[in-house]
Chain A
């Protein structure tokens, strides 16, 4: 077996996996009949169709040549994801302002170059703007500071 089109190879596998996943999980629900469709009916049909399509894409990738998958860059993936998770889970314990500081600095590490001074200025401006617009203006119920300080 030789992979001629890596993009289609992996896309096909992905669709097969998703299709089978939904098919498999839907088995826990009631199927019903065509007249009275149970909760499993529609997802089973769709999941089956998707697995079949994925299979075709997969088989095609062994026959027809296609482009390679471009290189993945893990640096932005890592820092952007980390920035989001930290913001989400630190907002309540640390407050809006500190969570923003962390998010801005961590996400800035994901770029090509990190200029500390520039990021600091950006962080100050963004925090002032966000506090004024989201907390004061739109009255989103975010604590501004850590719980132990207020």
Chain B
């Protein structure tokens, strides 16, 4: 390893430690924890809601805050998983299994502390991993031509399909629908207005903030309002936070394994916190000698997935920062945030804007430190928040989303569009069609068309070019193999079981 990584990190910390960036990092991680704790609102809706607010910030400050929301949500999600048996965040689903059992045995404090320390350790390691792996990857990516980019996007979209619950065919169809919706508006090549039907507001396309808030925010509120909200909170049981010697002995290896598995799964296109936590829990259950205790309050079942989801949340920034390709819905919004700020995401960001690149990486470590220092003492406050009934919460969320989306262009049309996507999202939920692949397709639609056009122009219309260039061929072959594997009957069954288990 060469020494430039340290000078780069030093540059990054110089940026991350300025008062304004520290402040927004703090706001980001606190907000992240807040929405992580609260079931019913996730990082996708929150980041979408806050995007308009970031217009007035400098690019680096905006990205630091938004990133903080994502990994902060991983910390917060575990709190409600342990205390209420409700995953505040989808990536905390598996933490419910053992964390809640620990709470019922009066060990809620230990479970919370384990989750926080596992996350912190994972956060530190993942920061280093991002710093080490991003630059060489960016260098490779600089050599990518349009055919490589196109094939990489295909792989990313296929990976999104892998992660979606339920039918593969429906997930692919959702990706296609996303790609098509992404094409609405003026075609850059010909200047033709496509699918706009004379609505002038659609000339610049459908705003992805509008789509994300509708599909993830409004649809979620409507679905939540169908359920009665009942929560049993272990408020008085959080007394002893410090793990025993035995606990320490049992948790350090799972944390280590969780961190590395999580980091690896986070880098994969389509990866991120969710895949990481599921993977780590399954692995730990297999290798641990306490495997029989899983589901009954095993500390390993909290330590490993919590470390993994935080590691995965952070390393999923690698494809974003180096290739400009989002690996999940949150990263898709980060791309949006960069474009709003006038930064074209891609490998050139690292060389052209080193402060931004390294500042963001350094801020992740700073943010993790803030989270562990602030969160444990603030548990009491989070518990109070958990007792806020949903009937108070949801009108507030509606208000913030409406204001956010209206302010995008000061036009009621966006609010209407958000409502339409909310209804569409609700129908998707009912028909078991996952919205995440749609959002990824939506962001990638125009980019994919552009790269496809360029690649075909360069090859004089010969589609074989995608298979004669080795990197591009590799991506495509990987995508095809993935799809075939997914469609094989026994793997399909296994995958469904894996999702049911969670």
Q: Using a CB–CB distance below 8 Å, which chain A residues touch chain B?
A: 7-8, 10-11, 14-15, 18-19, 22, 25-26, 29-30, 33-39, 42-43, 46-47, 49-50, 53-54, 56-57, 60, 67, 69-70, 72-73, 75-77, 80-81, 83-85, 87-89, 91-92, 100, 103-104, 107-108, 110-113, 115, 118-119, 122, 126, 130, 134, 138, 140-141
Contact = CB atoms under 8 A, between A and B. Distances in A.
Interface string B154-179: 00000000000001011011001101
Interface of B is mostly: helix
A75 to B, nearest CB: 8
Nearest to B431: A11
Contacts, number: 175
Interface string B436-472: 0000000000001100110011001101000000000
B396 interface: yes
A15 B457 CA distance: 31
A39 B190 contact: yes
Given A33-B461, A112-B228, A104 B399 contact: yes
B177 A18 contact: yes
Nearest to B446: A42
Nearest to B177: A18
Given A11-B170, A49-B176, A69-B431, A107 B398 contact: yes
Contact of A43 (B183, B396, B422, B430): B183
A108 B391 contact: yes
A115 B446 CA distance: 47
B419 A81 contact: yes
Contacts of B247: none
A84 B415 contact: yes
B482 interface: no
Contact of A37 (B167, B180, B433, B452): B452
Interface string B403-418: 1001100101111101
B419 A84 contact: yes
30 contacts: A8-B167, A11-B173, A14-B433, A34-B463, A35-B457, A35-B460, A37-B189, A39-B190, A39-B192, A43-B195, A46-B180, A53-B176, A67-B432, A69-B431, A72-B430, A76-B222, A80-B225, A87-B415, A88-B414, A89-B412, A104-B398, A107-B394, A107-B395, A111-B390, A112-B228, A119-B395, A134-B407, A138-B53, A140-B403, A140-B407
Nearest to B418: A84
Contacts of A118: 391-392
Nearest to B228: A112
B176 A73 contact: no
- Give me the 10 closest cross-chain CB pairs, A-B, nearest first: A88-B415, A88-B412, A35-B461, A76-B225, A34-B461, A50-B176, A11-B431, A39-B187, A39-B192, A111-B391
B52 to A, nearest CB: 8
B333 interface: no
